[in-house]
Every structure is written in structure tokens, then in C-alpha cells.
A and B are shown apart, each in its own frame.
Chain A
Amino acid sequence: MMFIRPIQGEDLPALLSLSEKTGAGFTSLPNSEKHLKKRIDRMINTWNDANPLSEKGYLFALVDYETQAIVGVSGIEVAIGLNDPWYDFHVGTQVHASKDLGIYRQMKKLSLSNDHTGNSELCTLFLDPEYRENKNGQLLSKSRLLFIAGFKDKFSERIFAEMRGVSDENGSSPFWESLGRHFFTLEFDHADYLSGVGSKSFIAELMPKHALYVDFLTEAAQKVIADVHPSTLPAREILESEGMRYEGYVDIFDAGPTLEAYTEDLRIVKQSLLRRVSINQSELQGELMLLMGNESYKDFRAIIGNPKVDSTHIYLTQSHADALSVTNEDQLRVVPLFEKEHSL
């Protein structure tokens, strides 16, 4: 069994070895003890309400219940862009028309924006390749939404996630080559690295301030606007099934799409319900695969499973209850793991 819990100070070595497995293109978990230590401290301060809004963020560990090994992480930033500006491109439309000449043209344009300032962000999702099975990715990604459903007041009314854009096996991005490349001399993976370690606004200072007509980019670059890297497709599908959409914002480096939603419109926020725990000797199975989380802010836990659930209670085994750190009559927040399942 796998479960989700808040990251802790002693997780640093595990996180560091996990970061070795991410490879190029995954910038938010840099293989640097200094950066990871800072990140963990910031997260712990958030849970202890010991830092300002601009620094608040959560990081969760996916843990193997049997071995206690950390095999994945996922995070939420509470309010981005309050210290350094947060940039993305808005993909808009400009109509050029002349009645006199009988011409009407729609032009796509990219404008540098700070429109997501203050919004919450789903970020830093990484799962050890050896554990990419048994819906572990679903648990890792969706448990964040369950946390948000339980503690809505801690987050902005809007939430978004940046999806990794298209790049080739050498780490070269067609969008970067057509645009960013002209504005300074960094290689894409270096710019991407700087972005991951928090220097994104330095780079943005060098990016075009004026709106750009998409027609002036190479065809290869035009084609990848709002497209995700093939390896990110599953992550995109998960978030879209939960009610997040592409609404015309893309990353300034690789043009990967930003998926976003009003928090209250998220499926898990709308559909999750509270049930009381009933611990049983034998396992009572229900029909639906469920995502379950406890109601503890500081010791949040989440698991997936298909226990029996009725209109008042959820029937857990002792090991489920242990993983969730709950006991009889505690409340659990429960929701079907998949959007297409019937609601409870």
C-alpha cells in the first residue's frame, strides 16, 4: 500500500536521491542539497504558519507503507508571483480588417502576462519510474486536490498547473529556438534550469515586452504552442479529468500549456464527501476505487482503495486506518478516484 503525507525534515536524503532520477527537463526538483533543504524548510514553515503568503507552499511525499521509502513527491504553491513576478504568455487574437479593402484577418499573438499572480499552483510532481504502476500517479497528483478540498481557505480561488512543453531528446525546444534564442544566448536547458531554481524572472526581464505575432515564429514553433511533452500527456489527462483546462496561457520558454480552474469547480472539491471511519477485522470491499484523505492539516494522509462505504461510514482495515492515521469515528474525506465513476 502507498500513502501520501507531508514532507518532513528527515526526508532530505530520500528527496536528494529521488532528484537524481528526474533527468533533464524536470526543473522544479533540482539535484542540489542546498535547494532541496531550503524547499523542505519552506514547506515545514508553511504548515507551521511561520512564513508570509508569498513563500507558502506544500510538498507531499508518496511513501511505500511496507518499506517507508519515499518514491514520489507532489507540491502546491499557495500564491505565486508575490516576490518575483510570475510570467507567462497569453495567446490572444488580434483582428486586422479593412472594409475599404475588403480584407479581414485574424492574427494570433503572444503577450507577456502576469495574469496568474496570486494564484495557487500545482507543481513538482515526480514519481520514481519503478513505481509508475497501480495508480500511484493518480494518488500522487489527485491527493493534492483532496488536500485543497479539505483546506480551501488556505488557497487562492484559482488554481493552475504548468505542463512541460515539447522538446526533443537533446533537450532542444522548437519554441525556444524560434523565440527565446533570439533574445539571449542561453541554451534552453540552462534557461530551464535557472527557471527551476527560481531565476525565472531574471530571464523574463530579457524576453520580449511587446506582443508577438505568432506568424513570425517558425512553423515548428507555432505547432508546439500549448502542446505537452509526450511524457507529460498522462499528467495532462489527469488534471483535465479533474476539471482543469487550457485557457490560453503558455510557458514563456517552451510554450507548454497552463491548465487552470476555479478551485470550487474542481471535481474533487465538488464531489468529495465526509464519512466516519469504522475499522473492521476483515476487509469489506465496495464497488468504487476511492481516494481518501484524513482531515488533519498538519498530518495529512491520503490513500486509494475500494473499501465499502455507506451513507454514514467508511469501512477500513486496520492497516488502512494506520496509513491514514485515523481511528474509529474520525472523519475521512472521500471521493471516487476517477471522474467517470458514479458519485457516492
Chain B
Amino acid sequence: MMVLRPAKVSDISYLERLAYESGTMVSSLPAKRSHLVKKVERSIYSFEQDVDTPGEESYLFVLEDTLTGNVFGTGAVNGLSGNREPFYSFRNDIKIHSSRELNVHSRIHALTLNHDLSDHSQLCSFYIASSLTSSRYPSLITLGRLLFMCIFPMRFTNEWMAVLPGIADEYGRAPFWEHVGRKFFGIDYNQVEYYNGTRSKTFIAEMMPYHPLYVALINEEAQAAMGLVHKDAALQCSLLSGQGFEADKYVEIFDAGPILTAQRNALSICQKIQQIKLTNLTCNSPLQTYLVGLAEGSSFKACLLKGVLTGNQLQVSQDEIDLLNVSSDHRIFCVKL
């Protein structure tokens, strides 16, 4: 059975392999062992904390095949995106330039470096092994995290977001970077993404434009890439959009990938979540797939189960109940997919 669960120190080797595979697509998952160890330790510490206002916590989940113990995917949530450092993005503002005398009224777009999204809770570090990209497990990683956030509202703010990778080719050339960031940094896209994953964010304040960038003056190839999602992240994008996340006026600062945001209460998963008990399957109705989350204290795991929901009882096979080690201490929640 595939289960989404908090990362453990023993997962490090798996994580290292996944981080290596993911390349620069996931800047918050750099293939650097010491960094990954810190990330796991920080996650373990975060789960242990009693949180009443979100802060430095970062929760790292892994997708584990419980039969083999292999790890196939990752996904994390940061309680507060701009906890110790501001979270930077470009905001696509509209400026009205008008002159009655000349009978001109034009809407001018300009990208402004900002840290408006610093108080959002952030989904990040999503990656799944390429063999599983067309399975249902990407949705387990993504929706499982949303379920976790719904069940532990005190650990998150009411505004959530996810940064999706933007357009870049297989050689790591991102058009937006080539025509914008490179002018300021003079280095390759891969290099800056590595710095972004491993260094203090101070360099962004130092290197990125202080003044708004007029979109009309940006090279057309780069303009065309603004707000477009990398094809490998299209699934992630549609999963989040399906729940009610929207790409509004924010883009990522290096590749101009979309930043999806949502109000917690507007998300369909938060509206449909239901606390249930798991019971043995007895009825003959056709089975449907449910996302099931089990909370015990502050720990959490999620899986996809086929079953029948009657009242507050989700009937699933006894084997699966056994595999999940369900105890009376578990608070169990489900959402129909």
C-alpha cells in the first residue's frame, strides 16, 4: 500500500536519490545530503511542536510503499512561507497611464519584486518518481497535504499557496531567466536555483531589481513564458486548480512560473472533509476512491482507499485497515475523490 507519511531520518538515502532525479525542477529539494538531513530534522521537530500560530515549521512528507519500505515521492508544507526570510515573488501590477489631452488611456503591466506572500502557508518540494507520474499517487501527495492542513488548522494560516516550476528546457535554459534574471546576476538558471535552495535569501534583495520591470520592455520570448507552468508540473497544477487554487498576479522570480494561491475556506477539500470511522466492507455497492487521512496526536498519514461511505462509516477491506494499524486513538477523515 502507498502511504503518505512524515519523513524519517532513515529516508535520507531515498530522498537523496529523488532530489538528484528531480534536478532543478524542485529548488526546495536540492541534492545535497547535509541539506536534506536538515530538512528531515526540521520536519521531525515541526511535527513535535505544539503550534498555535504558524511559524518556522516545515512538514516533509514521503510517499512510501509499505510493502517494500521504498520511498517514491516527496511533498512538504511550510507553516509560514516567509518565516525567517521574506518570501519573494514578482507581482504583475497594472498601472494606468492616461492623458485626457492626448486621448490616451493605456494599461501598463509592470513586475514588482515584493514579499506579499510571506504570510501564506506554502506547499513545496513536490516530486514523484517518473514511473508513478501517471498513477493516482501524485494526487495522494498533493491532496494528502491539503487534508493534513485542513485537519491541523492551527499549524497554518488561512491563505495557502504553491509555486510551480515555469518554462525551462532540458538543458536548464529558462527564457524568463535569460532575458530578465541573467541581466542582474550574470549566471545560469541552474546555478541561481541551486543558490535559491541552499543560501540565505539575502541575495535576492541584493541582486533582484529594485524598480518595477515594465512587461512591455521584456523580451517577447520571456513575456510568453510568464505564468506558464512546466509540462512536468501540469498535473500538480491541475490538481491544485481542481481544488480551487488560482494563478492570480504573482509569478516566481527566476522562471516566472505561476504561483497559485487560495483562501483555505474556498478550497473544495476543506468544504467536503468529513470525520469518519473505518469499518470492514460488508455492503455490495460499487466502490469509490477516497482520500483518507489518519491523525494521531500531531502525526499524520494519508492513503487512497476504495470503499463505500455510509453515514460516518467508510467501509473498506479489513486487510487495508490492518495495514494502516488503525487504533482507537486515530482521528480519521476522508474526502471522496
Contacts and interface: CB of A to CB of B under 8 A. Distances in A.
Interface of A: 94, 96-98, 100-101, 103, 105, 107, 109, 178-179, 182-186, 194, 199, 202-203, 205-213, 215-217
Contact of A182 (B98, B184, B208, B217): B217
B152 to A, nearest CB: 35
A283 B154 CA distance: 102
B186 A103 contact: yes
B203 A101 contact: yes
B97 A96 contact: no
Nearest to A104: B186
Contacts of B207: 96-98, 101, 103, 105
Interface in B172-196: 183-187, 195
B108 interface: yes
B213 A199 contact: no
A202 B95 contact: no
A187 to B, nearest CB: 13
B110 A206 contact: no
A203 B203 contact: no
A202 B183 CA distance: 32
Interface in B142-199: 183-187, 195, 199
B251 to A, nearest CB: 17
Shortest 7 CB-CB contacts between residues of A and residues of B: A182-B216, A98-B203, A216-B217, A211-B211, A98-B206, A202-B101, A215-B183
B104 A184 contact: yes
Contacts of B202: 98, 100
Contact of B108 (A107, A183, A215): A183
Contacts of B244: none
A91 to B, nearest CB: 14
B217 A212 contact: yes
A40 to B, nearest CB: 25
Interface string B193-227: 00100011011001111111110111000000000
Contacts of B200: 100
Contacts of A183: 97, 106, 108, 216
B106 A206 contact: yes
B101 A213 contact: no
**Which residue, B195, B200, B214, has most C-beta atoms of chain A within 10 A?**
B214
B56 to A, nearest CB: 21
A109 B211 contact: yes
Nearest to B106: A184
A207 B216 CA distance: 13
Contacts of B323: none
Contacts of B284: none
B10 interface: no
Contact of B183 (A101, A107, A199, A208): A107
Contacts of A185: 104
B102 interface: yes
Contacts of A217: 217
Interface in B83-126: 95, 97-99, 101-102, 104, 106, 108, 110
A101 B195 CA distance: 8
